[in-house]
Protein backbone atom coordinates (compact mmCIF):
# COMPACT_ATOMS: atom_id res chain seq x y z
CA UNK A 1 0.00 0.00 0.00
CA UNK A 2 1.48 3.36 -1.00
CA UNK A 3 0.17 6.25 1.06
CA UNK A 4 1.33 8.68 -1.60
CA UNK A 5 -1.48 7.37 -3.82
CA UNK A 6 -4.27 7.40 -1.25
CA UNK A 7 -7.01 9.98 -0.88
CA UNK A 8 -6.90 12.96 1.45
CA UNK A 9 -9.85 14.16 3.51
CA UNK A 10 -9.21 17.83 4.24
CA UNK A 11 -11.27 19.67 6.86
CA UNK A 12 -10.45 23.38 6.72
CA UNK A 13 -11.87 26.82 6.08
CA UNK A 14 -12.94 28.03 2.64
CA UNK A 15 -13.06 31.47 1.04
CA UNK A 16 -14.75 32.42 -2.22
CA UNK A 17 -11.99 34.90 -3.09
CA UNK A 18 -8.38 34.33 -2.10
CA UNK A 19 -6.22 31.44 -0.97
CA UNK A 20 -6.45 30.26 2.62
CA UNK A 21 -7.60 26.98 4.16
CA UNK A 22 -8.78 24.47 1.60
CA UNK A 23 -8.27 27.02 -1.21
CA UNK A 24 -4.55 26.98 -0.31
CA UNK A 25 -4.28 23.24 0.32
CA UNK A 26 -6.39 21.34 -2.23
CA UNK A 27 -4.84 22.60 -5.48
CA UNK A 28 -1.22 21.83 -4.46
CA UNK A 29 -2.21 18.39 -3.22
CA UNK A 30 -3.97 17.62 -6.48
CA UNK A 31 -0.97 18.82 -8.50
CA UNK A 32 1.22 16.45 -6.47
CA UNK A 33 -1.01 13.50 -7.34
CA UNK A 34 -3.51 13.26 -4.49
CA UNK A 35 -7.26 12.88 -4.78
CA UNK A 36 -8.73 15.28 -2.21
CA UNK A 37 -12.16 15.17 -0.59
CA UNK A 38 -12.71 18.38 1.35
CA UNK A 39 -15.07 19.69 3.99
CA UNK A 40 -15.30 23.46 4.44
CA UNK A 41 -15.42 24.28 8.15
CA UNK A 42 -16.38 27.85 7.24
CA UNK A 43 -17.61 29.35 3.96
CA UNK A 44 -16.60 33.01 3.84
CA UNK A 45 -16.53 35.64 1.12
CA UNK A 46 -12.86 36.35 1.89
CA UNK A 47 -10.42 35.86 4.75
CA UNK A 48 -10.84 37.90 7.92
CA UNK A 49 -7.95 40.28 7.28
CA UNK A 50 -9.81 42.50 4.82
CA UNK A 51 -10.64 46.05 5.88
CA UNK A 52 -14.39 45.82 5.36
CA UNK A 53 -14.90 42.44 7.00
CA UNK A 54 -16.41 39.30 5.51
CA UNK A 55 -19.69 37.43 5.13
CA UNK A 56 -20.52 33.77 5.28
CA UNK A 57 -21.42 30.74 7.35
CA UNK A 58 -19.71 28.54 9.93
CA UNK A 59 -20.24 24.78 10.09
CA UNK A 60 -20.84 23.29 13.53
CA UNK A 61 -19.83 19.88 14.85
CA UNK A 62 -23.26 18.34 14.32
CA UNK A 63 -23.24 19.37 10.66
CA UNK A 64 -19.77 17.84 10.21
CA UNK A 65 -21.03 14.53 11.57
CA UNK A 66 -24.02 14.65 9.21
CA UNK A 67 -21.60 14.96 6.28
CA UNK A 68 -19.58 12.06 7.71
CA UNK A 69 -22.72 9.93 7.97
CA UNK A 70 -23.63 10.66 4.36
CA UNK A 71 -20.18 9.64 3.16
CA UNK A 72 -20.20 6.48 5.27
CA UNK A 73 -23.72 5.46 4.28
CA UNK A 74 -22.75 5.57 0.62
CA UNK A 75 -19.52 3.66 1.10
CA UNK A 76 -17.44 6.72 0.17
CA UNK A 77 -14.99 6.27 3.05
CA UNK A 78 -14.19 2.73 1.92
CA UNK A 79 -12.35 1.45 -1.12
CA UNK A 80 -14.08 2.49 -4.34
CA UNK A 81 -16.77 -0.08 -5.23
CA UNK A 82 -15.25 -2.47 -2.67
CA UNK A 83 -12.67 -3.56 -5.23
CA UNK A 84 -9.79 -3.66 -2.72
CA UNK A 85 -8.02 -0.88 -4.57
CA UNK A 86 -6.01 0.75 -1.79
CA UNK A 87 -5.43 3.83 -3.91
CA UNK A 88 -9.06 4.83 -3.38
CA UNK A 89 -8.97 4.48 0.39
CA UNK A 90 -8.76 7.61 2.53
CA UNK A 91 -5.14 7.49 3.68
CA UNK A 92 -4.72 10.98 5.14
CA UNK A 93 -6.81 13.29 7.31
CA UNK A 94 -5.73 16.93 7.11
CA UNK A 95 -7.11 19.61 9.44
CA UNK A 96 -6.56 23.35 9.68
CA UNK A 97 -8.59 26.19 11.16
CA UNK A 98 -11.21 24.98 13.64
CA UNK A 99 -13.05 27.63 15.62
CA UNK A 100 -14.99 25.77 18.31
CA UNK A 101 -14.65 23.01 20.89
CA UNK A 102 -17.59 21.02 19.50
CA UNK A 103 -16.22 21.05 15.97
CA UNK A 104 -12.76 19.97 17.14
CA UNK A 105 -14.20 17.06 19.08
CA UNK A 106 -16.31 16.10 16.05
CA UNK A 107 -13.08 15.93 14.02
CA UNK A 108 -11.87 13.28 16.47
CA UNK A 109 -15.01 11.26 15.75
CA UNK A 110 -14.23 11.57 12.02
CA UNK A 111 -10.69 10.31 12.68
CA UNK A 112 -11.87 7.32 14.72
CA UNK A 113 -14.36 6.41 11.96
CA UNK A 114 -11.64 6.59 9.31
CA UNK A 115 -9.19 4.52 11.37
CA UNK A 116 -11.74 1.75 11.73
CA UNK A 117 -11.66 1.48 7.94
CA UNK A 118 -7.93 2.12 7.52
CA UNK A 119 -5.84 1.75 10.69
CA UNK A 120 -2.81 3.14 8.86
CA UNK A 121 -4.41 6.52 8.07
CA UNK A 122 -2.14 9.48 8.82
CA UNK A 123 -3.55 12.42 10.75
CA UNK A 124 -1.83 15.68 9.78
CA UNK A 125 -2.91 18.45 12.13
CA UNK A 126 -2.23 22.17 11.84
CA UNK A 127 -3.28 23.32 15.33
CA UNK A 128 -4.38 26.81 14.33
CA UNK A 129 -4.47 28.85 17.53
CA UNK A 130 -3.00 32.23 16.61
CA UNK A 131 0.23 34.03 15.81
CA UNK A 132 2.45 36.87 17.04
CA UNK A 133 1.05 36.68 20.56
CA UNK A 134 -2.61 36.81 19.49
CA UNK A 135 -5.26 34.07 19.58
CA UNK A 136 -7.42 33.51 16.49
CA UNK A 137 -9.60 31.00 18.33
CA UNK A 138 -10.91 30.56 21.88
CA UNK A 139 -7.98 29.77 24.22
CA UNK A 140 -10.05 26.85 25.53
CA UNK A 141 -8.99 24.93 22.41
CA UNK A 142 -5.40 24.69 23.69
CA UNK A 143 -5.98 21.90 26.27
CA UNK A 144 -8.24 20.04 23.84
CA UNK A 145 -5.50 19.99 21.20
CA UNK A 146 -2.88 19.07 23.78
CA UNK A 147 -4.75 16.40 25.73
CA UNK A 148 -7.30 15.00 23.25
CA UNK A 149 -6.07 15.63 19.70
CA UNK A 150 -2.28 15.33 19.72
CA UNK A 151 -2.26 11.79 21.21
CA UNK A 152 -3.89 10.64 17.94
CA UNK A 153 -1.85 12.87 15.62
CA UNK A 154 0.95 11.67 13.33
CA UNK A 155 2.21 15.04 12.07
CA UNK A 156 1.72 18.40 13.77
CA UNK A 157 2.65 21.78 12.28
CA UNK A 158 2.49 24.61 14.85
CA UNK A 159 4.01 28.06 14.42
CA UNK A 160 6.10 29.65 17.17
CA UNK A 161 3.12 31.01 19.11
CA UNK A 162 1.24 27.72 18.86
CA UNK A 163 4.14 25.54 19.96
CA UNK A 164 4.64 27.77 22.99
CA UNK A 165 0.95 27.46 23.90
CA UNK A 166 0.97 23.67 23.50
CA UNK A 167 4.20 23.02 25.42
CA UNK A 168 4.52 25.99 27.82
CA UNK A 169 8.08 26.39 26.50
CA UNK A 170 9.18 29.87 25.43
CA UNK A 171 11.04 29.31 22.16
CA UNK A 172 13.85 31.84 21.66
CA UNK A 173 16.82 29.63 20.72
CA UNK A 174 17.53 26.41 18.87
CA UNK A 175 17.84 24.62 22.20
CA UNK A 176 14.38 25.86 23.18
CA UNK A 177 13.02 24.56 19.87
CA UNK A 178 14.62 21.17 20.45
CA UNK A 179 12.99 20.91 23.88
CA UNK A 180 9.64 21.96 22.42
CA UNK A 181 9.86 19.31 19.69
CA UNK A 182 10.63 16.63 22.27
CA UNK A 183 7.68 17.79 24.37
CA UNK A 184 5.35 17.53 21.36
CA UNK A 185 6.66 14.05 20.54
CA UNK A 186 5.79 12.97 24.08
CA UNK A 187 2.24 14.14 23.49
CA UNK A 188 1.85 11.84 20.47
CA UNK A 189 3.04 13.03 17.03
CA UNK A 190 6.03 11.26 15.48
CA UNK A 191 6.73 14.21 13.18
CA UNK A 192 6.82 17.87 14.22
CA UNK A 193 7.28 20.87 11.94
CA UNK A 194 7.61 24.25 13.63
CA UNK A 195 6.72 26.36 10.64
CA UNK A 196 8.20 29.68 11.71
CA UNK A 197 10.54 30.62 14.55
CA UNK A 198 12.17 34.00 15.10
CA UNK A 199 15.31 33.16 17.05
CA UNK A 200 17.38 35.52 19.17
CA UNK A 201 20.64 36.53 17.43
CA UNK A 202 22.84 34.98 20.10
CA UNK A 203 23.13 31.31 20.99
CA UNK A 204 20.83 30.11 18.20
CA UNK A 205 23.24 27.66 16.55
CA UNK A 206 22.69 29.47 13.25
CA UNK A 207 24.96 28.43 10.40
CA UNK A 208 23.13 30.33 7.69
CA UNK A 209 24.05 29.32 4.14
CA UNK A 210 22.17 32.19 2.48
CA UNK A 211 24.06 34.26 -0.07
CA UNK A 212 23.35 37.45 1.89
CA UNK A 213 23.91 36.90 5.59
CA UNK A 214 22.59 40.40 6.31
CA UNK A 215 19.03 39.35 5.42
CA UNK A 216 16.78 38.63 8.40
CA UNK A 217 15.80 34.99 8.50
CA UNK A 218 13.14 32.78 9.97
CA UNK A 219 13.90 29.25 11.15
CA UNK A 220 11.81 26.25 10.14
CA UNK A 221 12.49 23.17 12.24
CA UNK A 222 11.49 19.57 11.53
CA UNK A 223 11.78 16.73 14.02
CA UNK A 224 10.97 13.06 13.63
CA UNK A 225 10.95 10.10 15.98
CA UNK A 226 10.93 6.62 14.47
CA UNK A 227 9.55 3.85 16.64
CA UNK A 228 9.46 0.16 15.84
CA UNK A 229 8.53 -2.83 17.97
CA UNK A 230 10.61 -5.92 18.51
CA UNK A 231 10.17 -9.05 20.57
CA UNK A 232 12.85 -9.91 23.11
CA UNK A 233 14.22 -13.38 23.50
CA UNK A 234 13.14 -13.79 27.10
CA UNK A 235 10.28 -16.03 28.07
CA UNK A 236 7.88 -13.14 28.62
CA UNK A 237 8.16 -11.92 25.02
CA UNK A 238 8.29 -8.30 26.16
CA UNK A 239 7.83 -5.73 23.42
CA UNK A 240 10.47 -2.99 23.13
CA UNK A 241 10.29 0.44 21.50
CA UNK A 242 13.26 1.11 19.25
CA UNK A 243 13.52 4.87 18.92
CA UNK A 244 15.68 7.11 16.77
CA UNK A 245 15.28 10.85 16.54
CA UNK A 246 16.46 13.47 14.07
CA UNK A 247 16.00 17.23 13.83
CA UNK A 248 16.70 19.49 10.87
CA UNK A 249 16.59 23.24 10.37
CA UNK A 250 16.41 25.65 7.44
CA UNK A 251 17.07 29.36 7.88
CA UNK A 252 14.95 31.08 5.25
CA UNK A 253 15.17 34.77 4.30
CA UNK A 254 12.10 36.75 5.31
CA UNK A 255 10.22 38.27 2.37
CA UNK A 256 8.63 41.54 3.56
CA UNK A 257 4.85 41.48 3.71
CA UNK A 258 1.98 39.78 5.47
CA UNK A 259 0.96 36.79 3.33
CA UNK A 260 -2.10 34.78 4.35
CA UNK A 261 -2.58 31.05 3.76
CA UNK A 262 1.10 30.21 4.10
CA UNK A 263 0.57 27.85 7.03
CA UNK A 264 -2.22 26.02 5.19
CA UNK A 265 -0.04 25.66 2.11
CA UNK A 266 2.96 24.52 4.14
CA UNK A 267 1.02 21.77 5.93
CA UNK A 268 -0.44 20.48 2.66
CA UNK A 269 3.02 20.35 1.06
CA UNK A 270 4.38 18.53 4.10
CA UNK A 271 1.61 15.93 3.86
CA UNK A 272 2.39 15.34 0.19
CA UNK A 273 6.17 15.18 0.33
CA UNK A 274 6.31 13.14 3.55
CA UNK A 275 3.98 10.60 1.95
CA UNK A 276 6.21 10.40 -1.11
CA UNK A 277 9.48 10.32 0.90
CA UNK A 278 8.59 8.96 4.36
CA UNK A 279 12.18 8.12 5.29
CA UNK A 280 13.92 11.28 4.12
CA UNK A 281 13.00 14.14 6.46
CA UNK A 282 15.74 16.53 5.33
CA UNK A 283 14.74 16.16 1.67
CA UNK A 284 11.07 16.68 2.56
CA UNK A 285 11.91 19.85 4.48
CA UNK A 286 13.99 21.17 1.57
CA UNK A 287 11.19 20.52 -0.93
CA UNK A 288 8.52 22.12 1.26
CA UNK A 289 10.47 25.26 2.16
CA UNK A 290 11.89 25.77 -1.32
CA UNK A 291 8.35 25.59 -2.72
CA UNK A 292 7.03 27.98 -0.08
CA UNK A 293 9.77 30.53 -0.67
CA UNK A 294 9.34 30.47 -4.46
CA UNK A 295 5.56 30.96 -4.22
CA UNK A 296 5.82 33.82 -1.72
CA UNK A 297 8.57 35.41 -3.82
CA UNK A 298 6.36 35.20 -6.93
CA UNK A 299 3.45 36.70 -4.98
CA UNK A 300 5.58 39.56 -3.67
CA UNK A 301 7.09 40.28 -7.09
CA UNK A 302 3.64 40.40 -8.69
CA UNK A 303 2.56 43.04 -6.16
CA UNK A 304 5.29 45.42 -7.25
CA UNK A 305 3.77 48.27 -9.22
CA UNK A 306 0.16 47.52 -8.27
CA UNK A 307 0.42 48.82 -4.72
CA UNK A 308 0.61 46.99 -1.42
CA UNK A 309 -2.80 45.73 -0.31
CA UNK A 310 -4.41 42.73 1.34
CA UNK A 311 -5.62 41.53 -2.06
CA UNK A 312 -2.17 41.87 -3.67
CA UNK A 313 -0.74 39.57 -0.99
CA UNK A 314 -3.08 36.68 -1.77
CA UNK A 315 -0.87 33.73 -2.71
CA UNK A 316 -0.33 33.30 -6.46
CA UNK A 317 -0.97 29.57 -6.39
CA UNK A 318 -2.31 29.08 -9.90
CA UNK A 319 0.61 31.01 -11.37
CA UNK A 320 2.94 28.76 -9.35
CA UNK A 321 1.74 25.47 -10.85
CA UNK A 322 5.15 24.49 -12.21
CA UNK A 323 6.88 25.44 -8.96
CA UNK A 324 4.56 23.16 -6.99
CA UNK A 325 4.93 20.24 -9.40
CA UNK A 326 8.71 20.39 -9.65
CA UNK A 327 10.25 22.58 -6.95
CA UNK A 328 13.93 23.36 -7.30
CA UNK A 329 15.75 22.99 -3.99
CA UNK A 330 17.27 26.34 -3.05
CA UNK A 331 17.73 25.75 0.68
CA UNK A 332 19.67 22.90 2.27
CA UNK A 333 18.61 21.57 5.64
CA UNK A 334 21.22 21.30 8.37
CA UNK A 335 21.02 18.64 11.04
CA UNK A 336 20.74 20.02 14.55
CA UNK A 337 20.12 16.77 16.45
CA UNK A 338 20.41 13.03 15.94
CA UNK A 339 20.10 10.07 18.27
CA UNK A 340 20.71 6.51 17.12
CA UNK A 341 18.13 3.80 17.75
CA UNK A 342 17.85 2.77 21.36
CA UNK A 343 15.79 0.03 22.96
CA UNK A 344 13.55 0.75 25.93
CA UNK A 345 11.96 -2.29 27.58
CA UNK A 346 8.23 -2.02 28.08
CA UNK A 347 6.83 -3.27 31.35
CA UNK A 348 4.08 -5.86 31.55
CA UNK A 349 1.79 -3.06 32.74
CA UNK A 350 2.40 -1.10 29.52
CA UNK A 351 1.80 -3.98 27.13
Measured between alpha carbons, how far is 132 from 200 in angstroms, rounded to an integer? 15
Neighbours of 246 (CB within 10 A): 17
Strands of 3-55, DSSP E = 7-15, 36-44
Measured between alpha carbons, how far is 42 from 21 in angstroms, rounded to an integer? 9
Let me know if 209 is a catalytic residue: no
Measured between alpha carbons, how far is 43 from 46 in angstroms, rounded to an integer? 9
DSSP, residue by residue, 91-126: EEEEE-----HHHHHHHHHHHHHHHHH-TT-EEEE-
Q: What are phi and psi of 169, to 5 degrees?
A: -110, 125
Which of these is catalytic: 126, 176, 251, 264?
264
List C-alpha distances in Å: 346 to 237, 240, 349. 10, 6, 8
Cβ atoms of 177 and 193 within 8 Å: the answer is: no
DSSP class of residue 149 equals I
Active site residues: 264
Amino acid sequence: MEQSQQRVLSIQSHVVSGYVGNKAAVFPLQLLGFDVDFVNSVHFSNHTGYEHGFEGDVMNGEQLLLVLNGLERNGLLDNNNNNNNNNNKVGHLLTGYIGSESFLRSVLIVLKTLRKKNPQIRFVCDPVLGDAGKFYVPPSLVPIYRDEVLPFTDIVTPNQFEVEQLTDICVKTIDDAKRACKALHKLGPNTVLITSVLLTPDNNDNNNDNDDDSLPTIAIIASQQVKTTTTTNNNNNNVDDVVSEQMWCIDCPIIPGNFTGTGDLCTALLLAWSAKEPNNLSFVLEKVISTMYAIIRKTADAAVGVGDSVASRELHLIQSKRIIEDPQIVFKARQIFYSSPKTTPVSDHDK
